[in-house]
Structure 1
Amino acid sequence: MHLFEALVIAHVIAGATGLIAFWVPIATRKGAKAHRKWGRIACYGFIVAGALAVAMALLSLYGPEERIPSVTDRELFDGLFGWMMLYLGLLTMGFADYGLAVVKHGRERRALRTPRYQIVMASVIVSALWCGYYGFGIGEPLMMAVAALGVVAMTLQLAFVWRKDVERTAYIGEHFRALVGMGISAYTAFMAVGLIRWVPEEVFNPVVWAGPSVIGVALIIYFTLQTNRKRAARA
């Protein structure tokens, strides 16, 4: 078995674990044992899958073999299966890492300002900017659209980390948005990379691509409104 094939199998196992476990903390009571347990499983599964995606992207860009010969446009191949896969892998890891860290350090945000976390967020921004720039160069709007997601998300995270004053429980919303973002980036990566292997004629269908973002944003809005109602009732 070649190295790339082994990475694909490991990536599928880790990613499937994360994609399945992701819905348990969404559906269960927040803060409960099942929420915490399955949330960690989802995060660690996505972190492993993201790291393997980065490795596969580098092999696609710089490996000796020509992958997916059916894609004759090699610039497009490098964009989708190289730079965008690399960026989505880093984005998924960045969301998962931040989602765990903000619960651990949300009430003492100075820990989130250390190089340990700042480098992760900076790497996502740099990879997003390059992904968007490359997509612009080859005229691929999908690459530019997913790149914008990472830049906006990391900017909002940095704003929370460096803001002088925040509400005591603000970290809860940050945690939720990060982990929903993690799910969006993981499902988008599946649409970008996995879909072309199964139904290549649908790989550029904007409806398919919009699905994870529409569901994710709807969840964020729903739980934000729910939290605001509870806060108003307590007040």
Structure 2
Amino acid sequence: MYWLHQSALYLHIVVGVIALIMFWIPVVSKKGARNHKRFGRIFAIVMYTVGWSGVLMASFDLWRPLVTHPVAQSTTAEAQTAISAGIRASATFLLSLSILVLATTRHGWLVIRHKDDRRALRRPAHVALCLALLGAGLTLLVIGGSSGNILMLIFGALETWLAIGFLRYSFKAELAHPREWWVEHLGSLIGSGIGVYTAFFVFGAARLLQPLLESGSFAGLGVVFWVAPGAIGGIAIARLSRKYRRRFSAEPG
């Protein structure tokens, strides 16, 4: 199990770095053009790899935390319990981010492929993934509320909001305007970026910048890095969605 966990970790790191760069190519490329479609497909494959490798790592950490993260034999039972609790807390958040990446990537891909025909979004696999995102969000809200963890509260609210939005879009009787699928695709893309950039800051950059963030001048700034992708991304989704809904609603037919 340890080596399988480590293999998933290395894969997650490699594809995660690729995803950080790949995210911007569909964003800046001309919408609907060949490069946008080509790199969009590649981005989806990369994000699925990021998501599933994260699910695998988090599942192992939740199941056997001291197997995936061995400690010295001299470690006391009390210390082992505390270490296990810390690993499981991080794994819970990583699992929620992984589900966020998978759900937003799949939703955005299905929306753009099927546009006005939303039957594919109502199939059991996609509905189950959206419900998993909803469950992850509610779990983070409960944990964040009981522990006062701002990071979990923000992402619990974001994941819950996105999951409800995905399900509502999939099952509502009629689209509000002919190109509502475009707005939905945009929001899903930003949501996937939130997941991958938050994972980078929380599990990657935070460790690299730890000496700086623990210094007197920058102490406490770590939480800013952690919540920034979710806060900025959530605001961007809300504002851009409102902007384009108004624009498309004003267009004829």
Fold shared, TM-score > 0.5 on shorter chain: yes
Following the alignment from structure 1 to structure 2, what is the Cα–Cα distance between the partners of residues 116 and 123? 11
Alpha carbon RMSD of aligned pairs, Å?
2.8
Determine if the alignment matches structure 1 residue 91 to structure 2 residue 91.
Answer: no
TM-score, with length taken from structure 2:
0.81
After TM superposition, the structure 1 stretch with the greater mean CA deviation from structure 2, 44-53 or 225-234, is 225-234
Aligned-pair distance for 1:188? 1.0
User: What are the superposed Cα offsets for residues 9-31 of structure 1, whole Å, 9 maximum, x if unpaired?
Assistant: 11112212222111011111111
Correspondent of 1:207 among 199, 203, 224: 224
Ranges in structure 1 where 5+ consecutive residues have no aligned partner: none
Q: Which amino acid in the other structure matches residue 184 of structure 1?
A: I
Q: 1:216: how far off?
A: 2.7
Give the 3 Å change call, closer, same or farther, for CA 18–224 of structure 1 in structure 2.
farther
Contact 2:101-2:196 at 8 Å conserved across structures: yes
8 Å Cα contact 1:53-1:86 kept in structure 2: yes
The answer to whether the aligner puts 1:106 opposite 2:108 as a matched pair is no
1:65-109 deviation line (CA, Å, top 9, x unaligned): 2639799654343212x1111111011000000000011222111
Larger radius of gyration: 2
CA change 1:84–1:115 in 2 (3 A) is same
- Of the structure 1 ranges 176-185 and 38-47, higher mean CA displacement relative to structure 2 is found in 38-47
Report the equivalent of 2:67: 65
1-structure distance, mates of 2:244, 2:161: 24
Residues 74 and 144 (structure 1), Cα distance of their counterparts in 2 relative to 1, 3 Å cut: farther
The answer for unaligned runs of 5 or more in structure 2 is 72-78, 214-219
Q: Is the 8 A contact 2:198 2:229 kept in 1?
A: yes
Shift, 1:115, TM fit: 0.7
**Cα displacement (A) at 1:150:** 0.6
Change (3 A) 1:46 1:232: same
- Equivalent AA in structure 2 for residue 120 of structure 1: L
* Number of equivalences: 234
Letter of the aligned partner of 1:210 in structure 2?
A: V
Over 3 Å counting, the alpha-carbon distance change for 1:227 and 1:165 in structure 2 is: closer
Partner of 2:178: 168
Identical pairs, percent: 26
Q: Contact 2:158–2:234 (CA<8 Å) still a contact in 1? A: no
Map of 1:6-45 to 2, 5 A cutoff?
Answer: 6-45=7-46
Q: Which amino acid aligns with 2:202?
A: A
In the alignment, the residues of structure 1 paired with residue 209 and residue 70 of structure 2 have an alpha-carbon distance, to the nearest angstrom, of 14
CA distance in 2, matches of 1:148, 1:68: 33
Between the aligned partners of 1:66 and 1:116, the Cα distance in structure 2 is 29
> Which amino acid is the alignment partner of residue 230 of structure 2?
S
